[in-house]
Amino acid sequence: MKRIKFISLFVIFTLVIVTSCVKDLDVKPIDSNVIVSENLMDREGAMIQALAKLYASFAVPGQDGVGGSGDISGIDNGFGVYTRALWMLQELTTDEALCAWNDQTIKDFHWHTWSPTDVFNAAMYSRIIYTVSICNEYVRNSAGSSDPDVIKYNAEARFLRALAYYHAIDMYGRSAFITEADLPGAFFPKETDRVSLFNYVEGELKAIENSLGEPRFEYGRADKAAAWMLLARLYLNAEVYLGAGNSKYAECIEYSTKVINAGYTLEPDYRMNFGADNHLSQEMIFAINYDGEFTRSYGGTTYIIHAATGDNMSAAALGIGSGWGGNRTTKEFVNILVDTLAYPPLATDTTFARVPDKRVYLWLLKSWEINNVGTFSDGIGVRKFTNMNHDGTPAVHPHNDFPCTDYPIFRLADTYLMRAEANLRLVGGDAGQALSDVNMVRGRAYGDASGNITAGQLSLDYILDERGRELYWEGVRRTDLIRYDKFTGGAYLWSWKGNVKEGKATESYRNLFPIPASEVGANPNIHQNDGY
């Protein structure tokens, strides 16, 4: 069975209480009546249960399940899930996705018109700080143990904290900064800048490397390969985070290679990574676990699958009871995913089945043109994620509302493409290796060498497009476009960027999201990002 026991819900230790951390989305202390930090090490099984809470902070809204109160307040439980907030900020702001709903300010993400008072942005920031806070408490209470298991748990908690802080680096640049050294109590957290936070995350990942489990030691838990993968991603984006001239492409190649040599393999069937049995994928490095019976949420893949289904799409074919008619993609991105000159959209081929690239999981809705952002049938449907097993059989715990599909954070194909890009960007890099890495990914996509490219076709822009083809809707598009200077500005336009149908240039300060206004107002140590 795919679910490891620690992914279930439980009540754990008392949280650090801080004066800041988004006033209208305040982090709430965990109920201390069952297990509290003072007796955590003394209670049999408490350490693994408490560790599970850290993992669960990415997956579910809170202690009480989908219908109870969430770990953060002031927002709907579904929108307040970490994975859902992350996906929205990373995908709805790009060419890969836009939403038809009228929920508060949700359309502002695709339009690039969000503001410091945006509640969805505040939910993401608050989720980061919440996860950091409970990880801090766990790290503090597990430090100094000689128990080999607890040493490993401590390293996993530090990894999860580093992952949350990485998202702060990527999306906000600056943030409130707290560690296990900040003891419980009321105080104003200090602020850290992007460079300092980069150095902290880098240092943490290197410090815990030897304490983490070996690659693939237990599915759903962070291991050495997960740490290497996060370091590789940090290094690939170093010039964005640290400033021009501060590249770390050699380091990206080093850690990508560690992952590639760690025993993972590309699945022959691309769909194996996005169905209810994706826990069996041999290329999954780290994922947030979901299960229709045991781990339910309106975030994660529940949100991705349901919100992408509507109009004339079949919900049953995707293993769900109904669609929410929200998210779809733009013609500009489909032109990247599919050579539409060779394979133009046809009413008789609603799934683009003629395309030889087997990563294409689209659905032709009623209008190729997005005339109205609020009309779901304007645009192209995406059916990449499904609640069926990759072979079309039902999930082990089938549920019409809650998929068993895990949310992929890191997988091997991304590693090959990161190493390829780093080799092309690095002065004196190995272009031959880059070509081999790209063709490794394309060979799986086509099933043979028919999709391979030549050295003359390989370029940085080609790799950006290939990343789109391979990783669409996996929460990396915004980061990739920023690295290529195509997220804001006018170098690349897509439908309704800048709230204009044809797209228009947007302000460069939007490469960072604003610190929530309530956070800035509550904590005198926190400053707003430029432009907001």
Residue 112 pLDDT greater than 50, yes or no = yes
> Residue 165: its pLDDT value, please?
98
Residue 105: what pLDDT? 96
How confident is the model over 389-424, as pLDDT tens digits?
999 999 999 999 999 999 999 999 999 999 999 999
End-to-end CA, the chain: 48
What is the pLDDT of the chain when averaged over all its residues? 92
The residue among 408, 444, 437 whose CA lies nearest residue 286 is: 408
Where does the pLDDT of residue 214 fall: very low under 50, low under 70, confident under 90, or very high at 90 and above?
very high
Domains of the chain, earliest start first = 1-208+509-532 (1.25.40.390)
**193-214 mean pLDDT:** 98
Q: Is the pLDDT of residue 42 over 70?
A: no
Q: What single DSSP character describes residue 514?
A: P
Residues with Cβ within 8 Å of residue 230, at least 6 apart in sequence: 159, 162, 163, 166, 201, 205, 410
The torsion region of residue 173 among left (phi > 0), alpha (psi -120 to 50) and beta comes to left
Q: Which residue blocks in 211-248 are alpha helix, DSSP H?
A: 224-236, 238-242
Residue owning tokens 């060498």:
449
Mean pLDDT calculated for residue range 243-247:
97
d(CA 434, CA 413): 13
Element (H, E) at 407: strand 407-411
How far is residue 474's CA from residue 15's CA, in Å, rounded to a whole number?
A: 31
* pTM of this structure: 0.94
User: Across residues 260-277, what is the average pLDDT?
Assistant: 98
Residue closest to 284 by CA, chosen among 257, 302, 268, 265: 265
Percent of the chain whose predicted confidence (pLDDT) is above 90: 87
pLDDT category of residue 74 using cuts at 50, 70 and 90: confident
Per residue in 248-259, pLDDT (tens digit) is: 999 999 999 999
pLDDT at 75 (0 to 100): 76
Q: Are 276 and 293 in contact (CB under 8 A)?
A: no
Share of the chain above pLDDT 70, in %: 92
Which 3 state secondary structure label does DSSP give 106? coil
